[in-house]
Amino acid sequence: MERYRTRSPRYGPRQDRPGRPRHPVPSQSGRGARAEPVRAARPSGQRRPAPARGPAPAPAPTAGGLPKPRLTGRGSGLFCAVVMFLLGLLCATLFAASLTAYGVLFLPVCALTALWVRPGDLMTAPVVVPIAFAVGLLPVADAEGGTGGTLMSLVTALATQAGWLYGGTLIAGLIVIVRRIRLQHRRRTAGVRPPV
């Protein structure tokens, strides 16, 4: 009577584990043969986690454009007076003390003063502009006869160049009014009550 040889549980069929593909088990010819381990394949839909990234670098400041300093009331007056005095020296040296050239250069200085003054001191810009115009006339006016001659030349220059003085003051006043209106509109939009 023949006896059938039972297979050892060691070499029995493998149970599939989750996450591993099924591979055919090679037939065992003897006890000494061992099955090679099968590596689990990564599912096709699963991806490696992306490495953690740090915060994005801040963008570089763009070049160009006018700077936007905020001058106080005194700062705007000092700025306008110093610039006009230097322009007066320039006109006296290069343009033979031309009052017309001085008046033309006065207009952009008025605009910059009104643009650069801070919102709390907007009303000082139209006040400091005429004072700076008179300060800048000192090097331009013809000084003859000491202090009295200098004062007479200054008064004469102010009288003859009143158009440039009024024009610069008007430009500064208009810029201040526009900035004031825009400031109030922003405050109303934001729901902030403007200070009395």
In a domain, 6, yes or no: no
**Comparing 8 with 139, which gets the higher pLDDT?**
139
The model's pLDDT over 71-115, given as tens digits with 9 standing for 90+, comes to 888 999 999 999 999 999 998 888 877 888 999 999 999 999 999
Residue with tokens 């986690």, as numbered in its chain: 49
Q: Count how many domains the chain has.
A: 1
pLDDT in tens, 11-37: 555 555 555 555 555 555 545 555 555
Q: What is the pLDDT of residue 63?
A: 47
In a domain, 113, yes or no: yes
In a domain, residue 125? The reply is yes
Is 41 a member of any domain?
A: no
Whether residue 24 is contained in a domain is answered as: no
The reply to whether 28 falls in a domain is: no
Instruction: Please state which of the ranges 86-95, 144-153, 157-166 shows the lowest mean pLDDT.
Output: 144-153
Is residue 127 in some structural domain?
yes
* Tokens describing residue 127: 């006040």
In this prediction, residue 193 carries a pLDDT of: 54
Which residue range is the domain that position 121 belongs to? 73-190
Q: Which residues contact 140 (CB under 8 A, 6 or more apart)?
A: 88, 91, 92, 97, 98, 99, 102, 157
pTM for the model: 0.59
